[in-house]
Amino acid sequence: MKIKISSLSEGRHFYKLDATVEELELPVEFFGKVKVQVLLEKTKDHILLRVTLNVHRHCECDRCLRKYDREFLNEYHMFYIHDISNKHLYDEDVVTVIRKDQDYIDISNDVRDYAMLAIPMKNLCKDDCKGLCPKCGADLNFEKCTCEIEKVDPRWLTLKELLKQ
């Protein structure tokens, strides 16, 4: 995903780009095209990219183990500067130094990284997923189970073990 900058005038420019997940070398759980919208703002000091990306992924619910597909959205911004002595003026995570004669900016690596960062730590098929019964394995979203689950305060487990002796 390259954006030509060599003959770009100062001001705002808008781009709609896409690439396959294979082109971006995303893991096999991702599928389809990654759609990217870029707002580029060029000034004499820097180029600012504001990027929004959409990506689709096959997921498995962490509570009920059901497989589902979901679209993820992420946004980021990145400054591109020519003068390395001005690098300290920007947050180090969002600045890249480029040559003055550079013809284009390749955002493929950033898009891949931010697509991966869009995935939450916990995947849920729905916010109120009830999960599986820990005894019989029934999917509590679709059926009620009759298992009795004994709730024991973990502080008393040692005493309970002593009583068994």
Residue 109 C-beta-side C-alpha neighbours within 13 Å? 4
Q: What percent of the chain has pLDDT over 90?
A: 58
pLDDT the model gives residue 93? 81
Q: Rounded mean pLDDT of 94-102?
A: 84
Question: How many beta carbons lie within 10 A of that of residue 57, not counting itself?
Answer: 22
Residue 122 pLDDT greater than 80, yes or no: yes
Residue 163 pLDDT greater than 80, yes or no: no
Residue 85 pLDDT greater than 90, yes or no: no
Residue pLDDT, tens place only, 16-40 = 999 999 999 999 999 999 999 999 9
Q: What percent of the chain has pLDDT over 70?
A: 99
57: its two tokens: 């992924």
- Angle CA(109)–CA(112)–CA(117) in degrees, nearest 5? 125
Question: How many beta carbons lie within 10 A of that of residue 75, not counting itself?
Answer: 11
114: its two tokens: 């931010």
Q: Rounded mean pLDDT of 107-127?
A: 93
pLDDT the model gives residue 151? 73
pLDDT the model gives residue 39? 96
Mean pLDDT of the chain: 89
Confidence category of residue 74, pLDDT binned at 50, 70, 90: very high
In the chain, where the domains are located: 2-129, 130-165
More confident residue, 8 or 164: 8
